[in-house]
């Protein structure tokens, strides 16, 4: 027997870029518990501050339940905790943990499995577990349900139920926020599917699309980003071809874009938590059933090569100006995976850095958005942060890797003693030596 939505208590497992905005949205309508194993993250959120900048502090503070007030007493709002016991009275569990790949590009389901084990110990009859993490088709029912059954002692679709509603968070985007993006929903039975759909309809103003099955919803999510990855790989390949032909790629794309049905993709680095990762999940499942995905993996190989390509092009232009390469100083502007946000997950700027370092160059990275502590922890390198502290004239090469708005005011211009390479097509063409 499903708990009526109006009486529901929702648990969000994982309070990162996906989980926190969703938790805040639910908290405006329902009793909501936000759980994360990162105690520092929990402490920050309890104080009303979000370091990812996805939720404005004022909005966060408006829904946070103070420690001296109970969630039941308040009636709705967000209780943030790292205590598993706080989830015991919840009847809907939404899993928003990361789904990364390992160094061999194989899917890592460990965070989802651990979250499922935690939930299973709390499951009661009538409870619903909804996964939002990006996965390949079949993960929810073939991988996670057995974990839930094993650790709960309950029977799937008799005692407890599942749903899948893929996240569509776009980090740093203040226009397409979680409630303004149409949401795909699904459930393990027709009644549960409708229940899950109505749950999201209560907070998603853009509306929902109820998929016919959990596997269809899983597949829809993973191809969204695989499609973008392949399209970007195509224009990245074009940029390599046009560079050899002495043609400006951006000018070609602008001209081609005058046709009504031309897709406006641009060349660049492909990182982040989705586009650079999700295709590997689909490829893994395809290979498990005996199909080798040629286009998907070809696109991944090409996009993963772009950091090294940028570094090589910079060095070629330095040599053409008779500038020393070994022991030279180079500046990389930007480290986050995209502009105007602090998200460094799976950033491919690290590929440019590593390739330049392999030529014994002295490489500085400056990014006013990225956390130096987080970069050191995740990548083991030091970066410059703050209000543009460096003297550009000390560098023989500058790579504009991320198009942060804060870089617009910098005096960046090519010279006889400095090569400027623009990855993003962000700078005036006459001020750079080359761009993708």
Q: At what angle do helices 214-245 and 306-320 cross, to 10 degrees?
A: 10
With residues binned 3-state (H G I as helix, E B as strand, rest as coil), the percentages for the chain, rounded to 5, are 40, 15, 45
Cα gap 69→61, rounded to integer Å: 14
- Coil/strand/helix, residue 18: coil
Neighbours of 374 (CB within 10 A): 15
- 274 as an active site residue: the answer is yes
Cα–Cα distance, 235 to 252 (Å, whole number): 10
Contacts of 355 (CB under 8 A, 6+ apart): 307, 308, 311, 312
Based on its alpha-carbon atoms, the radius of gyration of the chain, rounded to whole angstroms, reads 24
DSSP code string of 70-132 = -HHHHSSEEEEES-GGGGTT-SEEEE-----B-TTS-B--HHHHHHHHHHHTT--TT-EEEE-
- CB 209 within 8 Å of CB 15: no
Which of 90, 162, 274, 418 is catalytic? The answer is: 274
Q: ∠ CA(119), CA(121), CA(122), 5° rounding?
A: 65
DSSP code string of 191-246: HHHHHHHHHHHTT-TT-EEE-SSHHHHHHHHHHHHHHHHHHHHHHHHHHHHHHHHT
The enclosing H or E element of 309 equals helix 306-320
Q: How do 31-35 and 9-13 pair as beta strands?
A: parallel
CB contact burial 387-406 (16+ within 10 A = b; e otherwise): eeeeebeebbbbbbbbbbee
What HEC string does 365-409 produce? Answer: EECCCCCHHHHHHHHCCCCECCCCCCCHHHCCEEEECCCCHHHCC
The bridge status of strand 183-185 relative to strand 92-95 is: unpaired
* Local structure of 12: helix, strand or coil: strand
424: helix, strand or coil: coil
- Catalytically annotated residues: 274
């Amino acid at each position: 027997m499903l708990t009526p939505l109006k009486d529901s208590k929702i648990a969000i497992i994982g309070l990162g870029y996906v989980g926190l905005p969703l938790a805040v949205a639910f908290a405006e309508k329902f009793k909501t518990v936000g759980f994360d194993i990162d105690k520092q993250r929990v402490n920050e959120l309890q104080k009303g501050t979000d370091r990812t900048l996805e939720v404005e502090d004022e909005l966060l503070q408006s829904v946070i339940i103070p420690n001296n007030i109970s969630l039941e007493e308040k009636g709705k709002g967000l209780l943030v905790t790292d205590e598993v016991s706080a989830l015991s009275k919840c009847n809907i569990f939404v899993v928003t943990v990361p789904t990364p790949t390992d160094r061999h590009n194989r899917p890592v389901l460990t965070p989802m499995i651990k979250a499922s084990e935690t939930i299973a110990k709390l499951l009661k009859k009538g409870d619903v577990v909804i996964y939002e993490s990006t996965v390949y088709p079949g993960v929810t029912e073939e991988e996670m349900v057995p974990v839930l059954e094993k650790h709960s002692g309950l029977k799937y679709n008799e005692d407890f139920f599942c749903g899948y509603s893929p996240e569509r968070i776009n980090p740093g985007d203040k226009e397409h926020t979680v409630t303004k993006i149409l949401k795909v929903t699904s459930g393990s039975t027709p009644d549960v599917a409708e229940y899950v759909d109505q749950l999201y309809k209560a907070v998603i103003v853009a509306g929902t699309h109820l998929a016919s099955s959990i596997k269809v919803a899983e597949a829809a999510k993973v191809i969204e980003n695989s499609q973008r990855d392949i399209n970007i790989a195509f224009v990245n390949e074009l940029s390599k071809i046009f560079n050899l032909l002495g043609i400006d790629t951006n000018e070609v794309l602008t001209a081609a874009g005058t046709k009504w049905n031309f897709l406006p993709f641009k060349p660049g680095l492909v990182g982040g938590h989705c586009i650079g990762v999700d295709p590997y999940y689909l490829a893994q499942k395809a290979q498990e059933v005996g199909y080798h995905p040629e286009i998907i993996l070809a696109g991944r190989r090409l996009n993963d090569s772009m950091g090294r390509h940028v570094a090589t092009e910079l060095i070629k232009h330095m040599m053409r100006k008779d500038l020393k390469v070994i022991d030279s100083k180079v500046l990389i502007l930007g480290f986050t995976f995209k502009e105007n946000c602090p998200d460094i997950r799976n950033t491919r700027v690290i590929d440019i850095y590593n390739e330049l370092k392999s030529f014994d160059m002295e490489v500085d990275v400056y990014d006013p958005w990225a956390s130096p502590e987080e970069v050191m922890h995740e990548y083991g390198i030091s970066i410059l942060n703050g209000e543009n502290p460096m003297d550009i004239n000390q560098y023989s090469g500058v790579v504009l890797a991320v198009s942060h708005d804060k870089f617009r005011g910098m005096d960046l211009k090519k010279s006889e003693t400095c090569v400027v390479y623009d990855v993003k097509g962000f700078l005036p063409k006459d001020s750079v030596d080359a761009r993708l």
